[in-house]
Structure 1
């Protein structure tokens, strides 16, 4: 298989924007050029990569595999670029909005290192819910926002004019159940679990997973409604229900009385950075912060994180 890596950028744009026209706008090329590059990439791989529908475009399983490889290349290039830039002088204040698990695991532990590397760069963190953060971004009170998405439905959200999306991390969703509830994880019927599903705050990506499962008969009505993962774990340990939790949120967490399971069909959580395109301005502090966030996310091992004690 001989693939021109330059075409991966086009496939990634389609995956992130959910359509040919939106991808063309992001890449600043014509829609026909996007289609041509996709056709050539499909010819090179020998597989259909994109399914075109009246509502937009989505990636086939083969397309997802190629896109994931493209994201790995993109991250590696970002790390290499950062090393080449070295200790270049970067000054200014960058305000980044993000959700709890990302801030706690991938940002705060790195702040001392970043402060030492860029003493003139001030990174300010704003932790809040998705709707609030996006409103602040549109009002230009934030420079960038870290967003969580259910990867299966990620392309269905349209970005605002001039806004771009950069991938940070893809991680598996986990099923959390009371200890001993499921003896085996093979052939788990998500629609016939012995306990109800725990409800989650509607703007969270977990809620999108529940909606997706509900449409396919894999989830019933929910009980309770939580916002923080620690609350969900406590409810599960108390035998109140089962929950879908992202891998990152479990890092460093200890909670007795629960089992964390990998179950086929749950999919993955996609974490991206949203910001407004400032390509015409060179060496923006926000560019440096975006790179630092990508490097921190790339260093997180979704397979080797600390599991919850059971």
Structure 2
């Protein structure tokens, strides 16, 4: 019996959400369909993929290994169904600047695809802070940037949002707050808080906390997303971070859950930036068109290259 994409998607949803009922809601299907798909997968694989516990579904060792394969298969299918039609004959050099979060959690798969789609295009990557990126774009040191556009205020730059990543509360498995559908700043302020500082995350966080009468009880500030992940997973505190950097497991294999925040918390916007009025070269247009097609944005052009 062969494995279907439907089974893989049901398995991934259950692994990420930790409960068959939540996976069914997220997928808009019945719980029995999810249960059946998982049982079929376990029969095909010949191993238990989950441990059934009173609190939900925990991945076994085999389940974690299978999850990594499932992610890879679904990623390849997504690539195959979102083929880029911009001419692969584009050649030249493109200097791309990116911030820490973007280069770590957003860009790698796109860089891989771009290099396969445009084999004659040399991509030069630079990891920098936002201020250095803005200065580099204005002085033509970099052609374009991929960064958190929600942090850019410089009117001399043009930005184009590609995606918005919702920010949610991260908590360890079986945390009491998981009994609620959503939480507010009042409940979060009662918990020890881990404050991420990289990519102006602390500044962004304090902006939305400042609209509230409550303040986070910060016990640690760190520039490491992995440190936040491990501390939260091990019950040392909670954090509000975006879905883009969320992973359901820490390095130690402990689960990290997310909860919706009902108080206003802006999403983290990721997108492109370039110097306002810049003449687009074919490599610049190829990059922009690739992302426009990938994220189904308006203004997609096929093989022709024109100045915006």
Query: SS of the counterpart of 1:159?
Result: coil
Matches of 1:212 and 1:282, distance apart in 2: 36
Tell me what 1:143 maps to. Answer: 143
- Give, in whole Å, the separation in 2 of the partners of 1:191 and 1:111: 41
Q: Note if contact 2:192-2:219 (Cα within 8 Å) is conserved in structure 1.
A: yes
Q: Following the alignment from structure 1 to structure 2, what is the Cα–Cα distance between the partners of residues 282 and 174? A: 37
Distance of aligned partners of 1:191 and 1:129 in 2 relative to their CA distance in 1, 3 Å threshold: farther
| Pairing 1:79-98 to 2, within 5 Å after superposition | 83=85, 85-87=86-88, 89-98=89-98
Quote the Cα distance in structure 2 between the aligned partners of 1:249 and 1:123: 24
CA distance 1:165–1:201, shift in 2 (3 Å): same
- Pick the aligned partner of 2:229 from 209, 228, 233: 233
Change in Cα spacing, 1:219 to 1:257, as seen in structure 2 (3 Å) is: farther
TM-score (norm 2): 0.58
Q: Does residue 185 of the first structure (1) align with residue 185 of the second (2)?
A: no
Q: CA separation in 2, counterparts of 1:252 and 1:140?
A: 40
**Aligned residue for 1:24?**
none
Pair member with larger Rg: 2
The alpha-carbon deviation at position 166 of structure 1 amounts to 0.9
1:245 pairs, out of 238, 241, 244, with: 241
Gaps of 5+ in 1: 1-78, 300-310
Superposed displacement of residue 149, structure 1: 5.1
Taking the aligned partners of 1:201 and 1:284, their CA distance within structure 2 comes to 36
Encode CA deviations 1:212-270: one digit per residue, 9 max, x unaligned: 12331243342211223211111212333211111111258645143222222333111
Secondary structure of the residue that 1:260 maps to in structure 2?
strand
1:211 matches 2:210:
no
Quick one: distance in 1 between partners of 2:114 and 2:191?
Answer: 45
Aligned partners of 1:129 and 1:253: how far apart in 2? 28
Between the aligned partners of 1:287 and 1:252, the Cα distance in structure 2 is: 36
Equivalent position of 2:216 in the other structure: 220
Query: Which of 159, 166, 170 is equivalent to 2:160?
Result: 166
Structure 2 regions of 5+ residues with no counterpart? 1-81, 298-308
Q: 1:160 to 1:212 in 2, by over 3 A?
A: same
Equivalent-residue separation in structure 2 for 1:149 and 1:242 (angstroms): 26
CA RMSD across the alignment: 3.0
The offset of 1:164, in angstroms, is 0.7
Q: What are the superposed Cα offsets for residues 108-150 of structure 1, whole Å, 9 maximum, x if unpaired?
A: 2233432232222111222233233333333322222222255
SS in 2 for 1:131: helix
Which SS does the other structure have where 2:226 is aligned? helix
- C-alpha distance in 2, partners of 1:253/1:135? 37
User: Does the CA-based 8 Å contact 1:206-1:244 persist in structure 2?
Assistant: no
Which residue of 279, 287, 300 maps to 2:285? Answer: 287
Distance 1:257 1:119 in 2: 40
Q: Is the 8 A contact 1:201 1:225 kept in 2?
A: yes
* Residue in structure 2 matched with residue 274 of structure 1 by the alignment: 273
| Residues 1:234 and 1:112: Cα distance change in structure 2 (over 3 Å) | closer
Aligned length: 211
SS of match in other structure, 1:116: helix
Q: 2: distance between equivalents of 1:101 and 1:221?
A: 24
TM-score by length of 1: 0.58
Change (3 A) 1:251 1:129: farther
State the alpha-carbon separation in 2 of the partners of residues 226 and 125 from structure 1.
25
> Residue 37 of structure 2 aligns with which residue?
none
